[in-house]
Amino acid sequence: MLKVIKDMLRFDSRFRTAFILLSLILLMTLLSFVSPFAPDKTFQVAMDTPPSLEHLFGTTSRGQDLFWWMTFGVRNSLLLGVIAAVISRVIAMAVGLTAGYRGGWVDRVLMAVNDSFVVMPLLPILILLSFLIRGSLTVYTLAIILGLFGWPWDARLIRSQVLSLKERSFSRTAVYCGTPSWRISLNEHLPFVLPVVFATTINNMLWSIGMEVTLSVLGLSDLSRPTLGTSLFWANQHGALVAGIWWWIGAPVLVAVVLFIGLYLLLMSVNDYIDPRTRLRLIGA
């Protein structure tokens, strides 16, 4: 793994940029553990102070230091993205590996369920669920819901790879040796699928964090917990743009842009590294 990271840092400028941007995001996340301000407390500092050396991102109309509040927001948004990605990856791998290898009626049933999730109008469903469980909706609950809806596209991608893998000689040899199907999927097929799973994990994190921002701006998430979305919600509630408190909107937008660009560049560089042809081009072979 260290050699892979070293090669990508050396030959891929997109990975270097992503490494720098995501390192800044990770630093903000770690700083939340040493924050001098509690994220649920208001009127701790002077209100509506513009960015300065004392308050890097300025302060809000709620008397909160925006930089330290955003450290908690980035941490919670990343946590939501990771939980949603892990849950959806587990489901996608289980469905894709099983459907691709077993075939027949198992494949048809699983793909019918998969296609049902694909065609669902996801945003209206999430808005409805947010209304129904609004009183008990937390970051963790929202992450689980997003994870349960974020797997179908990637399950079909994994299935397509397994359909090719099961026709190769090593799969046929394992079948002739009497190896159970579940062991073939885990030992023979899963290692070939993992690079794709890793790449789609980043994509799923982007999607889940974006959905959280959308729901939070609409006021349909846990507004008491700082995230990238709830920061924008409270700025809008206090009329920050009209009042000229531009930094209250600018700070979460800047952090979100850095996070999204970093994850996107990481996704693109990983996709190119997975493909042997583009990997050879990157290293100048």
pLDDT tens profile 245-276: 999 999 999 999 999 999 989 888 887 777 66
| Segment 213-233 mean pLDDT | 88
Q: Does residue 48 sit within a domain?
A: no
Q: Does residue 115 sit within a domain?
A: yes
- Give me the torsion for CA of 175, 178, 183, 187, rounded to 10°: -60
Who's near 5: CB < 8 A, 6+ residues apart? none
pLDDT tens-digit series, residues 147-196: 999 899 889 989 988 888 887 877 777 777 777 777 777 777 888 888 88
Q: Does residue 166 sit within a domain?
A: yes
CATH of the domain at 76: 1.10.3720.10
Judge contact between 96 and 154, C-beta under 8 A.
Answer: yes
Q: Does residue 248 sit within a domain?
A: yes
Whole-angstrom distance, CA of residue 169 vs CA of residue 199: 27
Average pLDDT, the chain: 86
Confidence band, pLDDT 50/70/90 cuts, at residue 221: confident
Q: Does residue 260 sit within a domain?
A: yes
Exposed / middle / buried, residue 135 (Cβ in 10 Å: 0-12, 13-18, 19+): exposed
Q: Does residue 46 sit within a domain?
A: no
Overall domain count for the chain: 1
The one-letter code for the residue type at 256 is A
Whole-angstrom distance, CA of residue 74 vs CA of residue 62: 19
Q: Does residue 138 sit within a domain?
A: yes
Q: Does residue 1 sit within a domain?
A: no
The whole domain housing 138 covers 13-29+55-282
Who's near 113: CB < 8 A, 6+ residues apart? 95
